[in-house]
């Protein structure tokens, strides 16, 4: 089974993914960790969104290969990748369909005010889910970037709200 963890910045995706891992036989793929460890040390100030997207795409190619291995060993993949855009979620749905894998969407629907509060707290406390600081500009950008899952996407999915 592939679990798509979907929610805007600060919705609690990583916390939710880790809780899900404890309940099922699963492995979490958290793109924030991959970015922090593999790419951020090399990032220049002039590198923008396209720089990140290209590296995320490369990471996901590796993840897809690992998902095949997990499926073969009856271990769930828990994808904490943001999945902010319909097309990004669709990529994983098509991958699952092509390979005969089950997929489940988990949408964390949390208010903007609550999410911002969480982000500011995480930036200050730098706790378990902290990978890098999310600036107000980054948070505001994600408000315009994120596409809420449609009714169709939510068929058989889980809605988690505040």
pLDDT of residue 132: 65
Which homologous superfamily does the CATH classification assign to the domain defined by 2-161? P-loop containing nucleotide triphosphate hydrolases (3.40.50.300)
pLDDT of residue 64: 96
d(CA 123, CA 134) in angstroms, rounded, equals: 7
For residue 110, how many other CB atoms are within 10 A of its CB?
20
Q: Which residues of the chain have pLDDT under 50?
A: none
Residue labelled with tokens 């271990």? 75
d(CA 130, CA 125) in angstroms, rounded, equals: 8
pLDDT of residue 107: 97
List the structure tokens of 89: 């979620």
Closest CA to 81 of 71, 99, 100, 67: 67
Paired with 2 in beta bridges are: 77, 103
pLDDT of residue 155: 94
What residues does each domain of the chain span? 2-161
pTM across the whole model: 0.85
pLDDT of residue 100: 98
């Amino acid at each position: 089974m592939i679990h798509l963890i979907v929610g805007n910045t600060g919705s609690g995706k990583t916390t939710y993914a880790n809780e899900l891992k404890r309940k099922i036989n699963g492995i979490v793929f958290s793109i924030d960790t991959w970015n922090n460890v593999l790419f951020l040390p090399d990032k220049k100030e002039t590198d923008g969104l396209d720089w990140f997207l290209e590296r995320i795409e490369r990471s996901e190619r590796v993840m897809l290969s690992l998902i095949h291995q997990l499926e073969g060993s009856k271990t769930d993949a828990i994808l904490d990748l943001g999945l902010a855009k319909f097309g990004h979620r669709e990529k994983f749905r098509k991958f699952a369909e092509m390979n005969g894998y089950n997929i489940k969407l988990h949408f964390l629907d949390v208010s903007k005010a609550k999410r911002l509060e969480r982000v500011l707290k995480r930036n200050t406390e730098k706790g378990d889910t902290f990978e890098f600081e999310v600036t107000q500009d980054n948070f505001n950008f994600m408000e315009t970037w994120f596409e809420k899952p449609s009714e169709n996407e939510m068929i058989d999915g889980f809605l988690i709200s505040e």
